[in-house]
Amino acid sequence: SLQEVCKSRAVAMPTVSRVAVCGGTHGNELAGIYLVREMLKKRADGTEPVSVVTVMSNSRAAQLCVRYVETDLNRCFTRAASSGAAGSDTSPYEMIRSQELNALLGPKASAQAVDLLCDLHNTTANTGLCLITYSDHDWICLHICKHLQAPMHKPMEIGPQPHGVVRSAIFSAMQEGVQLMMDWICQFNSGRFSATNPCRNLFAVCFHGLRNIDYPRDSETHVITAAVHPDLQDRDFCLLHPGDPMFLCFSGETLRYRGKEALYPFFINEGAYYEKGVALSLARKRRVQIPSVRSETLR
């Protein structure tokens, strides 16, 4: 039967039996923080189909409602840092915390590590609900991405969320996204798939980040001299053509995109990236084929 053919073609993948959901990796990104707090209220009773570890990643920064206390925790998870070699009494709080998290959820790339880690972030950019993965062969992540898109046909115009603010619609979208992820994992583990996840091959639209563009700055003071142009602001993942307006100087001058290739901007005007020298990132759009997957171990 067709079903048999599909089954035989599906890529066998290990069961996703341990999942981590982390919030507050940046302590002023409030939707993830309140979602994790809400999840922590619900005690596991052992009947859950999947074991979920819920973690407040940087509770000290969350307490103070700042991105980080000493250094950006999300830049501490390199192997070198996690190995413990860099740890000492004088290490920044976040460096020590990254090692604690690695011990709790990892060690990274080891057999004991959780099978899937979902780290919840917010941005002041108008990205909608956006999944970031570091490989276009991460079939599980890409399947989850497709599963999240299914009930959300319209672009999620939920607007940007300021840091230090929680907007109810963004909290709800994030909550729904985590629930849909868990639903997909349960279906995958059980070997059953719904009609929304047919056995034929799927395609996912991905954006492959190429480079960052900084704000125009004063050559002496390094103070920014322009803001993202109003025509570009909030148009994350919309094609930017050579010659399109990119910045509007505070003096009134328009600066245009000088690249030779039309590309897709994202993380446009993210508040936390001013200090990192990033006004926006540019990506190439790709259509990635995702094979059907089946769990190796049926329950």
Structure tokens at 103: 């011990």
Q: Check binding of 230 to a copy of itself (CB under 8 A).
A: yes
CB of 38 to a copy of itself, least distance (A): 5
Site string for a copy of itself, 133-172 (x = CB under 8 A): --------------------------xxxxxxxxxxx-xx
Q: Following DSSP, what letter does each residue of 99-156 receive, concatenated?
A: HHHHHHH-STTSTTS-SEEEE----SS---S----S-TT-HHHHHHHHHHHTT--S--
Which stretch, 4-12, 50-58, 179-187, 221-229, contacts a copy of itself (CB under 8 A)? 221-229
Residue from 10, 17, 18, 34 that binds a copy of itself (CB under 8 A)? 34
Q: How close are the terminal C-alpha atoms of the chain, in Å?
A: 24
Q: Count residues contacting a copy of itself (CB under 8 A)?
A: 34
CB of 258 to a copy of itself, least distance (A): 19
Question: 114 and 140 in contact (C-beta within 8 Å)?
Answer: no
How far is the C-alpha of 196 from the C-alpha of 147, rounded, in Å? 7
In the complex with a copy of itself, which residue's Cβ is closer, 23 or 185? 23
Q: Tell me the pairing of strands 11-13 and 293-295.
A: parallel
In the complex with a copy of itself, which residue's Cβ is closer, 18 or 167? 167
Structure tokens at 72: 């950006």
Residue from 132, 250, 285, 298 that binds a copy of itself (CB under 8 A)? 250
DSSP element (H, E) containing 70: none
Q: Check binding of 110 to a copy of itself (CB under 8 A).
A: no
Q: Check binding of 272 to a copy of itself (CB under 8 A).
A: yes
Structure tokens at 111: 């057999």
Residue 29 among known ligand-binding residues: yes
Nearest to 229 by CA among 259, 269, 281, 283: 269
In the complex with a copy of itself, which residue's Cβ is closer, 209 or 271? 271
Residues annotated catalytic, as ranges: 157
In the complex with a copy of itself, which residue's Cβ is closer, 76 or 279? 279
Q: Check binding of 69 to a copy of itself (CB under 8 A).
A: no
Nearest to 259 by CA among 273, 241, 236: 241
Q: Check binding of 256 to a copy of itself (CB under 8 A).
A: no
CB of 136 to a copy of itself, least distance (A): 31
How far is the C-alpha of 225 from the C-alpha of 218, rounded, in Å? 6
Q: Check binding of 179 to a copy of itself (CB under 8 A).
A: no
Q: Check binding of 18 to a copy of itself (CB under 8 A).
A: no
Q: Check binding of 77 to a copy of itself (CB under 8 A).
A: no
Residue 26 among known ligand-binding residues: yes
How far is the C-alpha of 295 from the C-alpha of 173, rounded, in Å? 28
* Radius of gyration (C-alpha) of the chain in whole angstroms: 21
Residue from 57, 82, 269, 281 that binds a copy of itself (CB under 8 A)? 269
Q: Following DSSP, what letter does each residue of 207-263 receive, concatenated?
A: EEEEEEEPPPB-TTT--B-EEE-TTTTT-TTS-B-TT-EEEEETTS-EEE---SS-B
Q: Which residues bind a copy of itself (CB under 8 A)?
A: 34-35, 37-38, 65, 124, 159-169, 171-172, 223-224, 227-230, 233, 248, 250-251, 269, 271-272, 274-275
Q: Detail the residues annotated as belonging to a binding site for Zn(2+).
A: 26, 29, 121
Q: Detail the residues annotated as belonging to a binding site.
A: 26, 29, 121
